[in-house]
Structures are given as C-alpha cells and as structure tokens.
Amino acid sequence: MSRFASRTIRRCVFTWCPIVAALGAGAALTLTMPAVAQQPTSDATALPSATNQGAVTTVVVQGGSRSLFKIAVTPPIGDDQLAKSVVETATRDFTLSSLFQVLDPKSFTANLAQEGSSIEPSSWRNIGAEGVVKGNLSPRGSQVKVELRLYVVSRGSDPVLKKEYEVPISNIRSAVHQFDNEVVKYFTGIPGSFGGRLVYSAGRGQKAIYSIESDGQGLTRLPAVSNVALAPAIGPGGIYYAGGLPDGSYQLFKVGNPVAVLKHAGLIFGVAFGAGKMALVISQNGHSDIWTGNPDGTGLKKVTNGGLNTHPAFGPGGQLAYVSNASGNPQIFVDGKRVSYRGTYNMAPVFCNDPEGLKILFMGRDGGTWDIFSIDPSGGNMKRLTQDQGSNTYPACSPDGRMVAFFSTRGGLYISNPQGLNQQKIANVTGESLRWEGN
C-alpha cells in the first residue's frame, strides 16, 4: 500500500418489564431478563452462527484486505510518569480501534535519545513498524503542554501529523484521546471516538446509574433521586433516567436535578434522544407504549398501540427502533415495521453507523444464553457477533461506528469491532441499558 491514508479503512433495552395489569402506589418493577423465553411463532427461524471467535487478523479495506497497521508508541520526552500515562492511553486506544497493531516496546531498536523529536526510518522499518508516535511534555504549573506527532515510516523523517494541547496535568489522557482521534482521521477520513463515555444502570434490587470512559477508566456512580434509577440516556445538556419514587411512580429525571423534568400520566420507564426528538416508554393500564415528541417533552404522541413496547433508539436519519411483542414475542421494529424474524426473543436495539453501512445491533436469546447480533435497518443481512463466549448483552455503538461495547458473563464490559472481532475486556463491571455518548 503506497499510502495507507489514501485507502480508507472500511472496517478496521429492551429491558423486559413484567408489568402487572394494575401498577399502583408502591408497586415494584423488576428489570431483569426473563428466565424463560416465550414460545416461538411460526415464522421464527434459527439464529445465525458467528463466523469468528473474537480474534483479529486482518482489517477489510477498500479494494481488499490487509494486516493491521503496525504502529510504535514511544514515551514522550519529559516527565516519566506523565509519559507513561501517554503511552498507556495511546496503546489502549489503538488496540481497541481494531485498526492498529501496537508493537512491543521491547522490539524497538532505534536510539530514541539520539533520534530526539524525529525518526530514523530505517531503524523502524527493520522491526516492521509502519507508523511511529512521538512527543514532548512541558509542565507549566498545574498545566502541561502536550505535543504529539505521527510519523509514517515510508514517508521519511518528517511528521505527517502534529498536534499541541495544553491541559491540566490531571487531564492529560484527554489530550492523548484527542490526538488518537486525529490519527484515525488521518488514515480513514473519519475521526475516532476515543475519550467518550458510556452510561448504564446496575445493581440488584436497588438500581444506580454509572458512567465510565470508553477505555474502561473513570468509573463513576452518578447522583440520582432514588435507589431505583433506570434506563439512562444522554440527551440535551446531560444524562436522563427513569427514577422510581416511594409513592410507586416513575418519572423522568436529569442527573444533577432533584426535580422531575417530565411527568406524564402513567409510569415513565425509559427515554431516548436523537435527530432533535425524544422517545419515552410510558406504561398505562398494564401496557407500555412508545411516545415521541420534542426533546423538552412537548408535542408527545403515542406511536405504538398496546402490548409491551420498550427500549427506543433513534437512528442518524431519525428512524426509531424499538422492541415490541406485537408479533407474539419480543422482536425489533423500525418505524412500526418488524425487521427481525430470526430468533424468538430479540431486544435492546441500537443503531450503529458502521463504516460498511448503517446497522442495528441487538441482543438475542439462544437457548440459555444471550448474544449480540447486527441487522440492516431494512431487516436483511443478519449477523452474529458473539457465540460460545458466555452470555453477552446490551450492545452500544461508538459515534464513529467502529467499536461495539457490551456486557459479558465472562466478567465485565467488553469492546469489539462491528463484526465481533478483537474482543477486549475494558472493565470489571456489568449492568444493563448501556448507551454510548454521542450515539
């Protein structure tokens, strides 16, 4: 490949609520996955098998495939501890991206001190490096100036990308994430999504809302108005969730605001934002329906009609995916049309702007376990991302469409690419209703 940048890399909840007919004051809502799936309907067919086991060997690119781009991350010149943080953060980002193979520092033969801020291409070519990241750190009181550069070995000793950031020392990782996003943009034309955060709910009996950075750092429990905080979603100006109150009601709250931002007849069990709209799950008279309207809650209209409908998710074009049992068992619907016909229990859809084309990710039950699947918004091209790797639930997709996060009984929060390749555990946390900031 003469110039890696010229060949764009093309790849690299439904929380089932057993709602009784009369939910009165003090009624309990159980947000657990069902122990037994409903009986299959006549049009249900077997779920597809995965074509991988989570490994990565190649990345498909326009016009063919190639091995992962081999990149070396060197310690920036300056404070050793800060330099270590830079290397660790960049290494993690590049590994999770499924675009790069980060070379072992033990393999480096270049004289880093002699090279200084430049590179001697032959020294890196000899170990198979195709790219090199270097930098300088200049502390300035509580701030640090971070200068980072990318070299492409085949293009000589001048950097192809150079960025400078001045950030608080405690926030140096954010500067590295920004640079890594620029590196991905240089090679693909689309920035990466490093440095974002995910939100989810977790807990047994009591439910709390948590936030975690997309590389598994910075786990934080967010303040909520009650011990039952469900279905978080990132919307205008913050994080929203359904809060259960002592009187048995469920209302819509925003983190940091003790007063409900929206009340509605019935019980609010979930929310989604996108394309300048808001979607709510509202339970009334033993049914749960999807309502849509403006982000401030005005202009709400019911878009489903009875039964159990939940876990709305907006697509980039304003499409609305959700789960409904209108066909007899939980299946994925888009704008009122059923799109999943394989499997008998599918839920938790989310749109994913995969560089290969828009997809919907969801979790499907296969026997006693759950796995992650993808499907075209029209209902075709269903694929399986996980199989025989524990139970895997609640997918979320990064804004750039290159990374998929999900929970696994293998012991935590995982990230893969949209084909289920390069599965990497990033944190020892599990939960439900996972959402990725910006998507």
In the chain, count H helices and then E strands: 4, 31
For residues 254 and 221, give the distance between their C-alpha atoms in angstroms, rounded to a whole number.
14
Biggest CA–CA distance in the chain, Å, is 76
Map 354-371 to HEC letters: ECCEEEEEEEEEECCEEE
Please enumerate in sequence order all residues whose Cβ is within 8 A of that of 165, keeping only pairs 6 or more positions apart, or say none: 145, 146, 148, 175, 178, 179
Residue 406 buriedness (CB in 10 A; 0-12 / 13-18 / 19+): buried
Q: Is 231 left (phi over 0), alpha (psi -120 to 50) or beta?
A: left
For residues 404 and 52, give the distance between their C-alpha atoms in angstroms, rounded to a whole number.
15
- What 3-state DSSP class applies to 294? coil
**Nearest one of 159, 158, 162 to 147, comparing CA atoms:** 162
Torsion of CA 14, 16, 21, 27, to 10 degrees: -110
pLDDT value of residue 120 = 96
Please enumerate in sequence order all residues whose Cβ is within 8 A of that of 314, keeping only pairs 6 or more positions apart, or say none: 272, 273, 274, 275, 277, 279, 320, 321, 351
pLDDT value of residue 52 = 65
pLDDT value of residue 66 = 55
- Blockwise average pLDDT, block size 10, the chain, 439 residues: 31 32 29 35 66 52 63 96 97 96 96 92 96 95 96 96 97 97 96 96 89 96 94 95 92 95 92 95 94 94 93 95 94 96 94 93 94 95 94 97 97 95 95 93
**Nearest one of 238, 247, 253, 334 to 297, comparing CA atoms:** 253
Domain ranges of the chain: 61-188, 197-436
Instruction: Indicate the class that CATH gives domain 197-436.
Output: mainly beta
**Nearest one of 334, 52, 5, 37 to 155, comparing CA atoms:** 5
Tell me how far the alpha carbon of residue 228 is from its chain's centroid: 23
pLDDT value of residue 340 = 95
At the topology level, CATH places domain 61-188 in: Rossmann fold (3.40.50)
What's the order of all strands across the beta sheet hosting 257-262? Answer: 229-235, 238-244, 250-254, 257-262
> Which residues lie across from 353 on neighbouring strands?
358
pLDDT value of residue 51 = 73
pLDDT value of residue 356 = 86
For residues 73 and 104, give the distance between their C-alpha atoms in angstroms, rounded to a whole number.
9
pTM score of the predicted model:
0.86
**Nearest one of 372, 360, 365 to 335, comparing CA atoms:** 360
**Structural contact between residues 264 and 282, judged by C-beta atoms closer than 8 angstroms:** yes
For residues 269 and 232, give the distance between their C-alpha atoms in angstroms, rounded to a whole number.
10
The amino acid that residue 118 corresponds to is S
**Nearest one of 348, 350, 352, 376 to 363, comparing CA atoms:** 348
DSSP string, 31-90: ----SSPPPPPTT-BPPPPPS-SS--SEEEETTEEEEPEEEEEPPPBS-HHHHHHHHHHH
Residue 306 buriedness (CB in 10 A; 0-12 / 13-18 / 19+): middle
For residues 351 and 317, give the distance between their C-alpha atoms in angstroms, rounded to a whole number.
10
The amino acid that residue 333 corresponds to is F
**Nearest one of 416, 402, 396, 297 to 350, comparing CA atoms:** 396
116-155 burial, b at 16+ Cβ within 10 Å, e below that, comes to eeebebebbeeeebbbbbbbbbeeeeeebebbbbbbbbee
What Å distances lie between residue 283 and 22, 294, 300, 307, 384, CA to CA? 10, 19, 14, 10, 32
